[in-house]
Structure 1
Amino acid sequence: MAAGYKRDDLNLVTTEDLITLSVGDDVTLSCHLSPKVNAVYMEIRWFKGTDCIYLYENGRVIEGSGYEGRVSVNTLELKKGDVSLRLKEAKERDIGVYTCEVISEENKAARKVRWFCPKLEETEKGSLMASGSW
């Protein structure tokens, strides 16, 4: 167990739960561990819906289908507990709910981030924005 935190103390924190931007933009889905502990030896998973689009484990990275070359985590920032996902050249199909999951030997934490595009039709925006509790 890493020094400075107990087994049940690990949490994920986002600076924004809802992100608005346009298709074609680059976006960072901000997420970090609290307390800010070294995540280099932890397993980091990012999901869009139920599909794993990014997996980091022991320095090895697997990118999900359709996300190859477009998703990354800054591995230098992992030492500070920053597990934010960078998504390049966002496409309309990327819009949705993302979940970051971090697993250590002692603990598992998860946090969701919603992203939507303001150019969507009103009915699509309304259904996305009203997509229940999480």
Structure 2
Amino acid sequence: MYCEQIKTLTELLKNIATIQKSVEWISYYLLKNIATIQKSVEWINYYLLKNIATIQKSVEWISYYLLKNIATIQKSVEWICYYLLKNIATIQKSEMKMKFLGRTCLIVLSLLPAVSTQIGWTVVGTDQPVIAEPGDDVILPCHISPRLSAVDMEVRWFREKFDRPVHLYMNQNNLLETQDSDYQGRTALSPEALQTGDISLKLRNLQPSDSGIYTCYADDRSWYEDGQTEVIVAAMERKLEPMGK
């Protein structure tokens, strides 16, 4: 009995020594690499802080896309509910389940129109392209309907990239530092026109690369909408008059 206790105690002491070595090794590793670990944490914090604007814009864009496509989402929900209700007898012959499903669909469908009809205004671009020659100054038509003041709204004109604006107006200021470098010094919004919901963009000194689709986007912090305008830059053919006439 006594020998067994001695043996057990010896094993415990042996294990304690092993555990102690492990703790010492872990401590040594952490202390040796603390600078690297600290640098990694600092780099992660730096990256997040540096890209917080991009992350925020991504979240805004996702929200914008979902709200913009609310009609499509609503149609999808309606179709799913219609299909399930039509086939509920085949799926499961239960009157209680049918009533529950019906109530669920009605609740969802009643909420979606509430969201989609709260906007009260839309953004209207133009179906007719703006056609001009290189070097011309043009107006890209766009307005809010019904006519509301856009002075306190965010007004953003962009092409392919939302975060690379052709022109950005926000907090009653033109934020030119965020503007696409290809358009610097060539765009303007009319302060007077903004008061009546006219968010048309003046684009000066047209370049061939300016051809394309432009999106005008307005955001009043409770809703946002957009419209589109196409620009075509092309040299016009001129017929030369015969000499002597």
State the TM-score, normalizing by the size of structure 1.
Answer: 0.79
Structure 1 match to 2:211: 95
* Greater length-normalized contact order (CA 8 Å, ≥ 6 residues apart): 1
Alpha carbons 1:24, 1:89 under 8 Å: kept:
yes
| 1:49 and 2:49 correspond | no
Decide which structure has the larger Cα Rg and report it: 2
Alpha carbons 2:212, 2:232 under 8 Å: kept:
yes
Structure 1 match to 2:226: 110
In structure 2, stretches of 5+ residues that fail to align are 1-116, 237-245
Alpha carbons 2:210, 2:233 under 8 Å: kept:
no
Instruction: Using the TM superposition, give the Cα deviation of residue 118 of structure 1 relative to its aligned residue in structure 2, in angstroms.
Output: 3.4
| 1:59 and 2:175 correspond | no
Structure 1 match to 2:124: 13
Structure with the larger strand share: 1
Alpha carbons 2:156, 2:167 under 8 Å: kept:
yes
State the TM-score, normalizing by the size of structure 2.
Answer: 0.44
- Return the alpha-carbon distance in structure 2 between the equivalents of residues 22 and 29 of structure 1: 14
| 1:30 and 2:141 correspond | yes
Query: For residues 17-44 of structure 1, what are the alpha-carbon distances to aligned partners after superposition, in whole Å with 9 as ceiling and x for unaligned?
Result: 4111111100100100001001000000
Instruction: Using the TM superposition, give the Cα deviation of residue 48 of structure 1 relative to its aligned residue in structure 2, in angstroms.
Output: 2.0
In structure 1, stretches of 5+ residues that fail to align are 1-5, 121-134
Structure 1 match to 2:50: none
Alpha carbons 1:49, 1:96 under 8 Å: kept:
no
Instruction: Using the TM superposition, give the Cα deviation of residue 15 of structure 1 relative to its aligned residue in structure 2, in angstroms.
Output: 4.2
Structure 1 match to 2:192: 76
- Return the alpha-carbon distance in structure 1 between the equivalents of residues 219 and 205 of structure 2: 28
Equivalent residue letter for 1:10: W
Alpha carbons 2:159, 2:214 under 8 Å: kept:
yes
Aligned residues: 115
Query: For residues 62-101 of structure 1, what are the alpha-carbon distances to aligned partners after superposition, in whole Å with 9 as ceiling and x for unaligned?
Result: 2321212110100111110000000000111111110000
Q: State the SS of the aligned residue for 2:151.
A: coil
- Return the alpha-carbon distance in structure 2 between the equivalents of residues 115 and 22 of structure 1: 10
Equivalent residue letter for 2:223: N
Alpha carbons 2:216, 2:228 under 8 Å: kept:
yes
- TM-aligned CA distance change 1:113 to 1:15, over 3 Å: closer
